[in-house]
Amino acid sequence: MFRRAAAPPPIDVDAVRAAVGRVEDPEIHRPIGDLGMVGAIGADRNGLVTVEIRLTTPSCPLRETFRSQVTAAVRSVVPTASVDIAFGVLDDRARRDLAIQLRGPETSGIPLVAPRIYAVASGKGGVGKSTVTANLAVALADQGLAVGLLDADVWGYSVPQLFGVRRAPVALNGIMFPVEAHGVRLMSTGFLVGEDEPVIWRGPMLHKALEQFLSDVHWGELDVLLMDLPPGTGDITLSLLELVPSAALLAVTTPQPAARTVASRVGRMARDARMPVAGVVENMSTATCQACGNGTPLFGEGGGAQLADELGVALLAQIPVDIAIREAGDEGVPVVRRNPTSGSAHEFRSLAAGLPTVRRSIVGMPLPLSVA
């Protein structure tokens, strides 16, 4: 006689729900169970598990990321399960409640986005400031830090190109979520306009845009925020000095006297505003020969060291120009990821490892007084 095979044990739906609830939203960086994004979960006798995920927006660009992560979570409980995921959308009330939860208590002024904030600046364009910012951000993220990058170069934004992303950020009841790439949370005007569309904004609009990038973007719990400033000492630089007084300046120059001279003006402006200077990065220090590996100082020598001496800070890095960094920028993959063994990538990792933590002096700052 043939014996009937024993029926498989019933699937523990509660255990499946707990595992799915621990999946982290890739943009909000919180468990989706805490965010109310897990809907109905069911299981049948044949090992099919059905899961409903309620997205923040119908056009969520990370749908497939959710699918793979939720499937893995289910199979961590039921390894042989077939998984069917149905995507829905949070209703208006749930979206409103989630926005309130993410905003937290109402506060006045710009919130402190991260304990370490660096304003990466140069006196003139063309010195590779954005390339330095992008690769420093990825190198910091590779250390296990939560890193944000605010592209404050509103007119000449290049972060979308350098990171190879070009999509609009997800918005939720007045909150925007950074676009994440290569482990870094990004926000740029380039995500909000067409690729060939010029940004024609005057001072008040620029100030408001920067204020919203700081207060209305849900950066999450960051360890470091890098702000890629436009060249010079114009409206945007002045606005950021006002909006983010806790930032430290990171000055980028090339060895050329022209670049060093104008970079020193930005450094002096920061000092006049009592913004500490974290250090100097000399970019394009040498041009590396692809055949022999030798470096040639095409743009002269000593500009970075001279600027560091003028500002009374350290020369933190000397980044060479090599084929790897050019190809990485063209392809939209930071060189520390695309070619980690290159000379430029090595210098960026050294810069990240030695980036100092500096605090603004309270000398001359108004302090709140209380009367007992």
Beta carbons of 32 and 20 less than 8 angstroms apart: yes
Helices (H), the chain: 13-21, 63-77, 92-103, 129-141, 159-163, 203-215, 235-243, 257-272, 303-311, 323-331, 335-338, 343-354
Q: Where are the domains of the chain?
A: 13-103, 116-354
Measured CA to CA in angstroms, residue 96 lies from 91, 174, 346 at distances of: 9, 10, 45
Beta carbons of 268 and 245 less than 8 angstroms apart: no
Q: What phi-psi label fits residue 351: left (phi over 0), alpha (psi between -120 and 50 degrees) or beta? A: alpha
Which pair of structure tokens corresponds to residue 34? 């805490």
pLDDT tens digits, residue range 224-233?
Answer: 999 998 876 6
**Rounded Cα–Cα distance for residues 252 and 14 (Å):** 54
pLDDT at residue 2, rounded to an integer: 55
pLDDT at residue 369, rounded to an integer: 45
pLDDT at residue 202, rounded to an integer: 59
Give the rounded percent of residues in the chain with a pLDDT score beyond 70: 87
Beta carbons of 181 and 164 less than 8 angstroms apart: yes
Domain at 116-354, CATH class: alpha beta
**Rounded Cα–Cα distance for residues 119 and 229 (Å):** 7
pLDDT at residue 32, rounded to an integer: 94
Dihedral angle of Cα 339, 147, 61, 190, to the nearest 10 degrees: -80
pLDDT tens digits, residue range 234-252?
Answer: 667 777 777 888 889 999 9
pLDDT at residue 100, rounded to an integer: 86
The sign of the CA dihedral 209, 212, 218, 219 is: positive
Select 13-103's CATH number: 3.30.300.130, 3.40.50.300, 3.30.420.40, 1.10.3210.10.
Answer: 3.30.300.130
**Rounded Cα–Cα distance for residues 74 and 67 (Å):** 11
pLDDT at residue 87, rounded to an integer: 95
- Identical fold between 13-103 and 116-354: no
pLDDT at residue 114, rounded to an integer: 86
- How many C-beta neighbours within 10 Å does residue 295 have? 16
> Hey, is 321 helix, strand or coil?
strand
Beta carbons of 249 and 270 less than 8 angstroms apart: yes
Beta carbons of 31 and 23 less than 8 angstroms apart: yes
Which pair of structure tokens corresponds to residue 172? 């939720």
Listed residue (282, 277, 320, 278) closest to 302, CA to CA: 282
Q: Which residues of the chain have pLDDT under 50?
A: 108, 364, 366-372
